[in-house]
């Protein structure tokens, strides 16, 4: 491995214990990923809503409305894991992004286009116009963004590939795990968005909505989740076997710490498949639809842990001689914790008020 | 400098400038606009004024499109660009201020959620709840400025942090409060300028006049606060920073011109705001757009001034714009700069590549070959003796930073140096010679001789 190209460790000490940064990174990344899956999967399902027998317009409307929020939260929740990751692995991350600098910068342009297209689609649908073309372009932007993220992620944890990529930027895509990993990402996103679609349809049906359209939404969501979970099963094993031999061996020898999250994640996927296969009429099986959503989120939780552990194994030799010093900034850490708790509490309070507060008869609305 | 170097024809600093100025224009509006909308809706509820309510409602769509969409993306954009162009500085900032940024992120969550909820609940919730949501938004948005101002101002005036490396000393640095006052003023006047455009769409003439007048007050208060903050900011700067753009013999005339431009833009803006207050009926699209442009000109100019006056540092007295730390000058003089700049050395191997590698490592963060601050143009009129003299002086100046012979209240008095706007040259004798040889090959006469010899 070409360790001489790895930038030196930042001379400043870590402003907190490494374990805390790892925990905060994984937890905040999990929330980020849930929003990202909603956005990516939702935009793909909205783009392919034409495949649904009924409820096409409702499917599109739901996802553009959800994405108006989810994109903002996906971006906002990207900040925290990005911060904590940079504290621990900044030198690997910056190098990887510089090696594919134009693509990394281009991601911003794609994100801006996709976000505004979502609003274009939203207002077109509200005005009773079609938005199929807009949604396809929006989904394409998010798919490319996902590809860039996978590329940088694979590159930052494999310094041995840096020289080749520095000579030829397209070599960034030549990693044998790129395709299965990218597919893993896309399939998980569509499965989650499908489950969300079915769950929303079930809730609306319970409140007495238009049953035919809701049935179309729910069936489309469950079918999308079923197909992608089936494919995920194949892709998951492809990804596992495509890992470099030393990484796979180290992962398998990791004992319960690595094997338990992976096994639970796979079992959650298998169970999900069983539950999905049992749903013939989603509107008639609300409990099962809810179970589908729970299993998908559960699988994502364990896969995020596995992903983090794999990164550690990939980088183990490159970081073997790392002499990290720690000088915890207790006051600043306390400031963060207080601000975070207060802001989350105020956010929850504001959202609950926004959802529940309604004017009494004779009272003005805002 | 131990990172790969991204080749940009127009220079990395220019890219950061474009993204940063775009972002601050949007993010300051997100703060001031939120406050103005909250204020206007509060008035509308108290006075039961449907026209003011309409103005708040019209403006709220712009707020979320600007704040939660473009503001969020361009904010991440700053991270992306500084990580690409100045990775070492980004890493240094992250290691010192990660908890500050994390706290700011907490405010972002509240800000984004309340902005979206506010827009989504028009005509749905009671007015009191709607006002609660927008005032929470104002709180979160302003607090994010309170935090980030500490980190932005730290880069220019790190103050006592240089000795203590304390988080709080860095945040509450000498230009923190002046900058906060200045930016608060900017938030207010940008809000007034943007919302005036929304107010001009009001069809009821009497209502429109009232709105224009109200928003003129926002702008006048904002301009006065910004002016006071600006003067205070200038006052607290170290003498060597002032020397760059203040006085009759400013070290960087272009930056001194920027300062005049900034103050004139603010004057024009104040006059236009006074005009809007005095003659609201006559304040229509042309003058409103002119006022907005004057606001942009002031703010963009100020940001350029703030960034430019940091030369030759990225974090004053700590890290130079090429990523070299002040503290590592002696070591790099002994071991050689290419012992650290492994990527530059790798791209240009062998003795013949050494000069280019040294250039890439130390100069390429500001100078391009033929584009922005073209090194080819700069060396064209220089003869070999002169070039060797310049490089020798620049190398000696490294000792001044280390010995601290020229100091001013804890700062290196860069204005006393022969090359106050450039980082010192570091490296071994071999490396300096190699750099000189390489630079001489860029001179037109040399290129002509080489072509003639073929």
The answer as to whether B132 is a domain residue is yes
Please identify among residues 127-186 of chain A the ones whose CB lies closer than 8 Å to any CB of chain B.
162-163, 166
Quote the pLDDT of residue A50: 83
Q: Chain-centre distance of CA B148, in angstroms?
A: 12
Q: Number of A to B CB contacts under 8 A, please give it.
A: 218
Q: In this structure, are residues B204 and B212 in contact, taking their beta carbons and an 8 Å threshold?
A: no
A1 CB neighbour count, 10 Å cutoff: 12
Whether pTM > 0.95 for this model: the answer is: no
Indicate if the pLDDT at residue B448 is higher than 60.
Answer: no
Pair (B191, B60) in one structural domain? yes
Averaged pLDDT for residues A63-79: 95
Q: What CA–CA distance (Å, rounded) separates B67 from B30?
A: 5
Q: pLDDT above 90 covers what percent of chain B?
A: 81
A47-56, A191-200, B232-241: the lowest-pLDDT one: A47-56
Which is higher by pLDDT, A355 or B412?
A355
Q: In this structure, are residues B223 and B266 in contact, taking their beta carbons and an 8 Å threshold?
A: yes
Q: pLDDT above 70 covers what percent of chain B?
A: 96
Minimal CA separation from B63 to chain A, in Å: 13
The answer as to whether B288 is a domain residue is no
Element holding B408 (H helix, E strand): strand B407-408
Choose one of B232, B264, B288: the last residue of a domain: B232
Indicate if the pLDDT at residue A71 is higher than 50.
Answer: yes
In 3D space, the residue among B3, B10, B16 whose CA is nearest the CA of residue B308 turns out to be B16
For the packed helices B253-278 and B205-236, what is the interaxial angle rounded to 10 degrees? 150
Indicate if the pLDDT at residue B406 is higher than 90.
Answer: no
| Cβ distance of B102 and A353 shorter than 8 Å | no
Pair (B339, B206) in one structural domain? no
Burial of B451 (0-12, 13-18, 19+ CB in 10 A): exposed
The CATH number for A13-313, chosen from 1.10.645.10, 1.20.1630.10, 1.10.3720.10, 1.10.1380.10, is 1.20.1630.10
| Cβ distance of A8 and B70 shorter than 8 Å | no
Is A345 in the B-facing interface, judged by CB distances under 8 Å?
no
Mean pLDDT over the full length of chain A: 95
Tell me: the pLDDT tens digits for A168-210?
999 999 999 999 999 999 999 999 999 999 999 999 999 887 7
Q: What CA–CA distance (Å, rounded) separates A298 from A199?
A: 16
Tell me: the pLDDT tens digits for B350-401?
878 999 999 999 999 889 888 888 999 999 999 999 999 999 999 999 988 8
Indicate if the pLDDT at residue B263 is higher than 90.
Answer: yes
Tell me: the pLDDT tens digits for B124-182?
999 999 999 999 999 999 999 999 999 999 999 999 999 999 999 999 999 999 999 99
The answer as to whether B338 is a domain residue is yes
Burial of B124 (0-12, 13-18, 19+ CB in 10 A): middle
Minimum CA–CA partner of A13 in chain B: B95
Which is higher by pLDDT, B409 or A345?
A345
Minimal CA separation from A279 to chain B, in Å: 34
Residue from A20, A93, A354 to probe the interface with B (highest B Cβ count within 10 Å): A354
- Count of positions (residues) in chain B: 454
Whether omega before A98 lies within 30 degrees of 0, making that bond cis, reads no
Minimum CA–CA partner of A4 in chain B: B342
Indicate if the pLDDT at residue A40 is higher than 90.
Answer: yes
Domain count, chain B: 2
Which is higher by pLDDT, B347 or A42?
A42
Quote the pLDDT of residue A160: 95
Question: Which of B65, B125, B343 has the CB atom closest to A365's CB atom?
Answer: B125
- Domain of residue B333, CATH code: 1.10.760
In 3D space, the residue among A52, A37, A322 whose CA is nearest the CA of residue A186 turns out to be A37
Indicate if the pLDDT at residue A55 is higher than 60.
Answer: yes
> Which residues of chain B are within 8 Å of residue A16 when distances are taken between CB atoms?
98-99
β partners of residue B319: B315, B325
Q: In this structure, are residues A33 and A300 in contact, taking their beta carbons and an 8 Å threshold?
A: yes
| Cβ distance of B95 and A14 shorter than 8 Å | yes
Four-CA torsion A157, A160, A166, A172, nearest 10 degrees? -50
In 3D space, the residue among A38, A45, A28 whose CA is nearest the CA of residue A69 turns out to be A38
Indicate if the pLDDT at residue A3 is higher than 60.
Answer: no
What phi, psi does A52 have (nearest 5°)? -75, 145
Q: In this structure, are residues B62 and B197 in contact, taking their beta carbons and an 8 Å threshold?
A: no
Q: What CA–CA distance (Å, rounded) separates B84 from A103?
A: 11
C-alpha angle with apex B2: B401 to B158, nearest 5 degrees?
40
Quote the pLDDT of residue B223: 98
Is B340 in the A-facing interface, judged by CB distances under 8 Å?
yes
- Count of positions (residues) in chain A: 366
Is A350 in the B-facing interface, judged by CB distances under 8 Å?
yes
Minimal CA separation from A249 to chain B, in Å: 31
Quote the pLDDT of residue B12: 84
Pair (B91, B197) in one structural domain? yes
Indicate if the pLDDT at residue B454 is higher than 50.
Answer: no
Quote the pLDDT of residue B411: 75
> Which residues of chain A are within 8 Å of residue B116 when distances are taken between CB atoms?
68-69, 72
> Which residues of chain A are within 8 Å of residue B117 when distances are taken between CB atoms?
350-351, 354
| Structure-token match 């699988």, residue found | A299
Domain that includes residue B100, residue range: 12-232
Query: How many Cα atoms within 13 Å fall on the side-chain side of residue B205?
Result: 2
Give the Å distances, CA to CA, from B234 to A242, B192, B228, B249: 59, 25, 10, 16
The structure tokens listed for B399 are: 């000792």
| Cβ distance of A366 and B112 shorter than 8 Å | no
């Amino acid at each position: 491995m070409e360790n001489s190209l790895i930038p030196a460790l930042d001379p400043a000490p870590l402003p907190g214990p490494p374990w805390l940064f790892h925990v905060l990174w994984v937890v905040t990344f999990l929330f980020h990923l849930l929003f990202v899956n909603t956005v990516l999967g939702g935009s793909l399902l909205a783009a392919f809503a034409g495949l649904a027998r009924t409820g096409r317009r409702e499917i599109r409307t739901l996802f553009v409305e959800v994405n108006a929020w989810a994109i903002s939260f996906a971006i906002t929740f990207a900040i925290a894991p990005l911060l904590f990751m940079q504290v621990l692995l900044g030198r690997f991350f910056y190098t990887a992004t510089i090696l594919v600098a134009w693509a990394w910068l281009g991601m911003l342009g794609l994100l801006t286009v996709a976000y505004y297209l979502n609003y274009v689609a939203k207002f077109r649908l509200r005005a009773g116009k079609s938005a199929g073309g807009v949604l396809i372009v929006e989904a394409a932007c998010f798919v490319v963004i996902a590809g860039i993220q996978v590329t940088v992620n694979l590159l930052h944890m494999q310094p041995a590939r840096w020289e080749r990529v520095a000579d030829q930027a397209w070599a960034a895509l030549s990693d044998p795990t790129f395709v299965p990993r990218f597919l893993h990402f896309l399939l998980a996103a569509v499965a989650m968005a499908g489950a969300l679609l079915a769950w929303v349809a079930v809730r609306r049906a319970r409140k007495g909505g238009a049953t035919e359209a809701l049935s179309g939404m729910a069936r489309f969501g469950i079918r999308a989740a079923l197909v992608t979970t089936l494919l995920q099963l194949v892709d998951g094993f492809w990804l596992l076997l495509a890992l470099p031999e030393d990484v796979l061996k180290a992962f398998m020898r990791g004992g319960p710490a690595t094997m338990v999250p992976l096994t639970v994640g796979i079992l959650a996927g298998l169970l999900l498949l069983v539950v999905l296969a049992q749903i013939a009429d989603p509107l008639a099986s609300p409990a099962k639809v809810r179970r589908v959503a729970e299993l998908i989120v559960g699988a994502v939780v364990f896969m995020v842990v596995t992903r983090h552990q794999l990164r550690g194994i990939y980088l183990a030799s490159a970081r073997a001689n790392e002499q990290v010093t720690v000088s915890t900034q207790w006051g600043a850490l306390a400031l963060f914790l207080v601000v975070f708790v207060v802001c989350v509490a105020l956010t929850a309070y504001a959202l609950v008020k926004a959802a529940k507060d309604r004017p009494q008869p004779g009272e003005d609305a805002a | 400098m131990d990172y790969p170097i991204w080749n940009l024809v127009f220079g990395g600093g220019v890219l950061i400038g474009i993204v940063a100025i775009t972002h601050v224009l949007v993010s300051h509006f997100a703060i001031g606009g939120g406050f103005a909308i909250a204020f206007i809706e509060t008035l509308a509820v108290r006075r039961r004024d449907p026209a003011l309510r309409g103005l708040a409602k019209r403006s709220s769509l712009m707020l979320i499109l600007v704040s939660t969409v473009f503001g969020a993306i361009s904010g991440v954009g700053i991270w992306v660009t500084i990580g690409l162009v100045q990775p070492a500085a980004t890493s240094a900032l992250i290691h010192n201020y990660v908890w500050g940024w994390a706290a700011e992120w907490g405010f972002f969550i509240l800000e984004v959620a309340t902005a979206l909820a506010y827009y989504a609940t028009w005509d749905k919730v009671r007015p009191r709840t709607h006002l609660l949501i927008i005032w929470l938004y104002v709180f979160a948005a302003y607090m994010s400025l309170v935090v980030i101002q500490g980190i932005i101002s730290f880069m220019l005036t790190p103050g006592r942090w240089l000795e203590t490396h304390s988080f709080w000393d860095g945040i509450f640095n000498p230009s923190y409060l002046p900058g906060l006052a200045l930016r608060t003023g900017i938030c207010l006047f940008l809000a007034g300028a943007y919302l005036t455009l929304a107010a001009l769409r009001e069809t009821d003439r009497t209502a429109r006049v009232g709105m224009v007048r109200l928003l003129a007050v926002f702008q006048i208060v904002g301009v006065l606060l910004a002016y006071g903050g600006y003067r205070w900011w200038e006052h607290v700067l170290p003498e060597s920073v002032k020397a760059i753009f203040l006085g009759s013999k400013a070290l960087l005339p272009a930056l001194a011109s920027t300062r005049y431009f900034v103050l004139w833009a603010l004057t024009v803006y104040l006059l236009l705001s006074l005009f809007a207050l005095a003659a609201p009926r006559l304040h229509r699209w042309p003058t409103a757009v002119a006022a907005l442009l004057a606001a942009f000109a002031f703010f963009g100019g100020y940001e350029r001034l703030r960034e430019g006056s940091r030369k030759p540092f990225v974090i004053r007295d700590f890290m130079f714009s090429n990523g070299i730390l002040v503290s590592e000058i002696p070591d790099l003089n002994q071991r050689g700069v290419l012992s650290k700049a492994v990527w530059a050395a790798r791209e240009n191997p062998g003795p013949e590549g050494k000069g280019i590698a040294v250039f890439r490592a130390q100069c390429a963060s500001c100078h391009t070959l033929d584009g922005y601050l073209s090194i080819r143009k700069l060396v064209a009129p220089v003869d070999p003796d002169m070039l060797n003299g310049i490089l020798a002086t620049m190398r000696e100046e490294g000792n001044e930073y280390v010995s601290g012979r020229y100091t001013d209240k804890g700062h290196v008095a860069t204005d006393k140096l022969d090359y106050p706007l450039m980082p010192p040259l570091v490296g071994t004798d071999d490396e300096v010679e190699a750099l000189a040889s390489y630079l001489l090959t860029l001179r037109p006469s040399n290129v002509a001789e080489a072509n003639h010899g073929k």
